[in-house]
C-alpha cells in the first residue's frame, strides 16, 4: 500500500502552502486536509484508523483546545503518542475523564455533547450514507468488513459528521451494499424531516476528505467537491466515483501540507508509517 510521493506542486497551491517542504504523499495531504477541517471545533469523537491520526494532528496544529473523545470511554484525552488502536493506555493517562462505555455513548454521544464525529468508511454514496459492514450479500458476503462499531450512533447523534477515506470506484458508489450509518438518506429534505421527527440531535454528514479533495454537502444533501488537492485532477475524481460528481463553481485547490504538518506526521505521530504507508 505504499504510495508514490509527489513533488510539491507548482502554481497557486504552492504559493499558499508557505513552508511546504519537499514532496508529500496523497495520504499525507488527506490527513492534513482532514485535520484542518477541525479548526474551530470543540469536542471531537475519534474513530479508528485515519480519523485517529487526523484528529491528533488537528490538536497539535489548528485546534489545540480540541477535546478528544474516544468511544472506549475517554473524554479530554491527551495522548503522548499516536495510538495504533483507539483503545490504548496513552489515551487514559492525563485525560480529563474516563467513564464506562454506557455513559460515553449515553451521556456524551446520545446526549448531544459531541460536535464532530469523525468516521472512516468502506463505501459511501452521494448522500453520505456509509457502509462499513459487508461488500456483497449480508448472509454470504464477498468481504466481511468490521461492522458498525460506534459508527451508527455517531452518524445519528454527533452534531456533525466528518468522513475521511480514500476514493475509488469501489468506495464511492452509486448504491452502497449495506447502510451501516445514515447520512442524508435519500436527500436533504427527507433527512431533515426524519432527524426532526426522530429527535436526533445530529445534522448528519458535513465534510468528506479524500486523497483527491474535500467535499461538503449542498442544499439538496448531495456531496459537492469544493477543493481539489494539489496534483489531483477532475478526471481522476470522476474516474474514482460511481456517480457524476457535483463540483463547486469556485473550486479551490487545497493548500499543500506545511513543513510543520509533515514533520508532525512523519516524526511525531506516525514514525513507523502505520497510517501513511
Partner 1 sequence: MSSKVASMRDAVADLVRDGDTVAIEGFTHLISFAAGHEIIRQRKRDLTLARMTPDLIYDQMVAGGVARKLIFSWLGNPGVGGLNAIRRVTEGPGASLEMEEYSHFGMVARYTAGAMNLPFFPLRSYFETDLPKVNPLIRPIDSPYGDGTVYAVPPLRPDVTVIHAQRADAEGNTQVWGLLGCQKEAAFAADRVIVVVEELVEGSIIRADPNRTIVPGIVVDAVVVEPFGAHPSYVQGYYDRDNRFYRDWDPISRDAALTDGWLAEWVHGLSGRAEYVAKLGEERVTSLRPSAPAPSGVVDYGEYR
Distance (Å) of CA 90 to CA 53, 80, 85, 274, 276? 14, 6, 10, 17, 21
CA angle 179, 241, 38 (to 5 degrees): 70
Q: Which residue has the cell 449515553?
A: 106
In whole angstroms, the minimum distance from the beta carbon of 123 to partner 1 comes to 12
Nearer to partner 1, 181 or 254 (CB): 181
Tell me which residues in 18-37 interact with partner 1 (CB under 8 A).
none
CA distance 46 to 87: 11
State the nearest-atom distance from the C-beta of 207 to partner 1, in Å. 21
Residue from 20, 27, 56, 133 binding partner 1 (CB under 8 A): 133
> Which stretch in 48-56, 165-173, 211-219, 228-236 sits in contact with partner 1 by CB under 8 A?
48-56
Instruction: Pick the stretch among 12-20, 25-33, 131-139, 159-167 that binds partner 1 (CB under 8 A).
Output: 131-139
Compare residues 7 and 146 and give the one whose CB is closer to partner 1: 146
Site string for partner 1, 142-181 (x = CB under 8 A): xxxxxxxxxxxx--xx--------------------xxxx
> What is residue 276's DSSP assignment?
T
**Is position 273 an interface residue for partner 1 (rule: CB under 8 A)?**
no
CA pair distance 41, 234, nearest whole angstrom? 30
Residues 89-118 that bind partner 1 (CB under 8 A): 89-90, 92-103, 105-107, 109-113
* Smallest separation, CB 259 to partner 1 (Å): 24
Active site residue 71: yes
Cell 513543513 belongs to residue: 259
B/e letters for 100-138, b = 16+ CB within 10 Å, e = fewer, are eeeebbeebbbeebbbbbbbbbbbbbbbbbbbbbbbeee
Assign 3-state DSSP to the chain and report helix, strand, coil percentages, each to 5.
25, 20, 50
Q: Which three cell numbers stand for residue 272?
A: 513507523
Q: Which of residues 196-235 bind partner 1 (CB under 8 A)?
A: 197-201
Q: Is 21 exposed, middle or buried (0-12, 13-18, 19+ CB in 10 A)?
A: middle
Query: Which member of 71, 153, 222, 261 is catalytic?
Result: 71
Instruction: Give 12 or 94: the residue with its C-beta nearer to partner 1.
Output: 94
Q: Which of 13, 72, 209, 264 binds partner 1 (CB under 8 A)?
A: 72
**Annotated catalytic sites, by residue?**
71
Amino acid at each position: 500500500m505504499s504510495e508514490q510521493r509527489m513533488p510539491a506542486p507548482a502554481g497557486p497551491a504552492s504559493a499558499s502552502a508557505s513552508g511546504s517542504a519537499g514532496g508529500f504523499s496523497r495520504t499525507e495531504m488527506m490527513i492534513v486536509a482532514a485535520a484542518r477541517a477541525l479548526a474551530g471545533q470543540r469536542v471531537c469523537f475519534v474513530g479508528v484508523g485515519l480519523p485517529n491520526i487526523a484528529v491528533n494532528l488537528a490538536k497539535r496544529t489548528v485546534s489545540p483546545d480540541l477535546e478528544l473523545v474516544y468511544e472506549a470511554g475517554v473524554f479530554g484525552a491527551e495522548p503522548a503518542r499516536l495510538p495504533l488502536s483507539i483503545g490504548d493506555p496513552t489515551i487514559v493517562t492525563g485525560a480529563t475523564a474516563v467513564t464506562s462505555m454506557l455513559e460515553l455513548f449515553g451521556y456524551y454521544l446520545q446526549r448531544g455533547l459531541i460536535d464532530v464525529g469523525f468516521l472512516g468508511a468502506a463505501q459511501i454514496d452521494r448522500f453520505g450514507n456509509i457502509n462499513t459492514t459487508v461488500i456483497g450479500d449480508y448472509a454470504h458476503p464477498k468481504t466481511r468488513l468490521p461492522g458498525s462499531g460506534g459508527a451508527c450512533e455517531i452518524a445519528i447523534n454527533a452534531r456533525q459528521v466528518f468522513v475521511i477515506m480514500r476514493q475509488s470506484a469501489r468506495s464511492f458508489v452509486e448504491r452502497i451494499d449495506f447502510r451501516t450509518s445514515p447520512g442524508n438518506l435519500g436527500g436533504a429534505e427527507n433527512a431533515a424531516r426524519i432527524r426532526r421527527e426522530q429527535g436526533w440531535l445530529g445534522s448528519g454528514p458535513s465534510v468528506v476528505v479524500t486523497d483527491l479533495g474535500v467535499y461538503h454537502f449542498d442544499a439538496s444533501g448531495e456531496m459537492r467537491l469544493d477543493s481539489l488537492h494539489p496534483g489531483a485532477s477532475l478526471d481522476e475524481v470522476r474516474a474514482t466515483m460511481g456517480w457524476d460528481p457535483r463540483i463547486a463553481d469556485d473550486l479551490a485547490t487545497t493548500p499543500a501540507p506545511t513543513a510543520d504538518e509533515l514533520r508532525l506526521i512523519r516524526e511525531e505521530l506516525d514514525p513507523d508509517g502505520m497510517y501513511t504507508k
